[in-house]
Homo-oligomer: A and B are copies of this chain.
Amino acid sequence: MSLKTVLSIILSSACFAVTIAQSTQQRIRQYRQSRETILMDEYRQFVSIPNVSSDSANIRKNAVFIVQMMKQRGITATLLDGTKPGTNPAVFGEVTVPGATKTLIFYAHYDGQPVNPKQWADGLQPFVPVFITAPVEQGGTIVTTHKTGDAVNPAWRLTGRGSADDKAGVMTILNAYDALVKSNSKPTANLKFFFEGEEEVGSTHLGDILQKHRDKLQSDLWIIADGPRHVSGKKLVQFGVRGDVNMHLTVFGPKRPLHSGNYGNWAPNPAQRLVTLLASMKDEDGKILIKGFYDDVTPLTASEKQAIAALPNMETALKKELGIAKPDGNGAPFQELLMIPTLNINGIQSANVGAMAGNVIPAKAEAVLDLRLVRGNDVARQMQRVKDHISSKGFYVLERDPTDAERQQYPKLIKITAGVGYNAQRTPMDLPIAQGVVAAVQSTSSEPIVLLPSSGGSLPLYLFENVLKANVVSVPVDNYDNNQHAENENVLVQYLWDGIETMAAIMQIN
């Protein structure tokens, strides 16, 4: 055989392999295109089911809906409970592929953050999904002409709590499998599916569920479909997440709200005390002033640093879109700032503002803090630093409301309660099976995909490491401007279609 012949064979083989890959992707796309209205109608039904984590009755309706979706697609499906009463069930499914040597397990969560319908734009409701032409903050309007069964513009967005975070994960994973099978292809690995119902309340019982069902949940890799793609719009593989915990603070004032005139200058105002406390935690650049807050951070590895340096610079575009003249961080790059711990005021309230405001000295003032943790941080240690800071400002710290005797004794009283929280997680970027996922995702994109050592966001992925000794990578599908966790949450329709292709490609990794 001449060199030319050998080269020719090699080249044609290579071309053949590429042709097959393209062809499968095209068949998947065609199958999806032929069923867009059906897929979208089903997804709207799914998003219509209220999914606030604390709403157990509706949470179970969501779980049952997912089981149905899975069974319709030929996937065995069951609910996994933990050992504790009041646990929102996880939905588990499995597909065994003859001859497959690896097992992939796909994760998404079907529960959503709390909603305040009053904060949603006119015409939008958390659990009445509609299409909008663009984000409402950018002048998007509701598509009033669309009826069930009509074609859907891929540039539209579907609104609703969970439309992006993270029912989109469930939707794209299950439809990827369906499209793959219906397109006369098959997965190269055994597949498992695990859809959590408590992610938005800190995955309180996830460790328990993983422990209880550890045999069933063994795999070579967890694929986490949650969070947004890169802000540039590029597809993304993430190797880690920040940890997360919430702390709820309540500063106590007079036992009852007082007339601000009849007691003003004499009765201490709890809102004033709370703002003074919170102000002491950060400087004007957003640097956290709590002692030791940055001490435990594990330095980035060389490959992590390299990956961060290679990330597209989105700051100029983001500043413009978000209306930010000067970001926090004293000039540090956006992505580096996501690799250090945070302290964020999620919300603050004392009495009322706006039309309901009254001339009162409020009886209490509340704030919720969000702490994001990076590798090296420990939840308990980081929270203790915040508590120590609060004590150092003269507050007497309680985990409950004060008694009358405590009110008489301590001038400054605060109640601190905290969620369970969890630490950060990172997978080494050079893990072979993870590199297989990178190649698969890249095969679905004409642009170079983005590799991120850690997301700024959080998932309890350390549990997979701790309980199951598992490997984990994240492959997000949502648009970055999805308003997740807030009012007017939405998912870009094209990104759902893209996500189906992404997940199908991963199901065929070598």
Contacts and interface: CB of A to CB of B under 8 A. Distances in A.
A351 B347 CA distance: 5
Interface stretch (A186-194, A261-269, A430-438, A441-449): A261-269
A342 interface: yes
Contacts of A340: 265
A150 interface: no
Contact of A457 (B137, B259, B276, B356): B259
A496 to B, nearest CB: 19
B404 A268 contact: no
A84 B85 CA distance: 63
A324 B372 contact: no
Contact of A325 (B54, B409, B480): B409
A23 to B, nearest CB: 36
Contact of A485 (B113, B137, B268, B360): B360
Nearest to A282: B272
Interface in A100-119: 113-116
A458 interface: yes
A254 interface: yes
Nearest to A231: B262
A458 B368 contact: no
Contacts of A262: 227-228, 338, 455-457, 480
- Which interface residue of A254, A319, A360 has the most chain B CB atoms within 10 A? A360
User: Which range holds the interface residue count of chain A?
Assistant: 35 or more
Interface string A271-299: 11011101110101010000000000000
A265 B286 contact: yes
Interface stretch (A41-49, A61-69, A240-248): A240-248
B337 A365 contact: no
Contacts of A346: 260, 351-353, 357-360, 362
A355 interface: yes
B268 A324 contact: yes
Given A455-B262, A456-B261, A458-B261, A116 B356 contact: yes
A259 B484 contact: yes
A407 interface: yes
A349 interface: yes
Interface stretch (A29-37, A327-335, A500-508): A327-335
Contacts of A483: 256-257
Nearest to A327: B266
A225 interface: no
A4 interface: no
A220 interface: no
A324 B267 contact: yes
A228 B261 CA distance: 11
Contacts of A135: 256
A344 interface: yes
Contacts of A98: none
Contacts of A261: 242, 244, 338, 342, 370, 372, 455-458
Interface in A453-489: 455-458, 480-481, 483-488
A362 to B, nearest CB: 7
B269 A345 contact: yes
A326 interface: yes
A323 B455 contact: no
Contacts of A348: 271, 275, 348-351, 353, 365
B358 A407 contact: no
10 contacts: A244-B359, A246-B359, A261-B455, A267-B324, A268-B324, A279-B279, A323-B404, A347-B351, A347-B356, A360-B485
Rank and list the top 3 A-B pairs by shortest CB-CB distance, nearest first: A323-B407, A261-B457, A257-B486
Given A242-B261, A347-B351, A354-B366, 11 more contacts: A252-B323, A254-B324, A259-B484, A261-B457, A266-B327, A266-B337, A266-B338, A269-B286, A272-B344, A353-B367, A359-B370
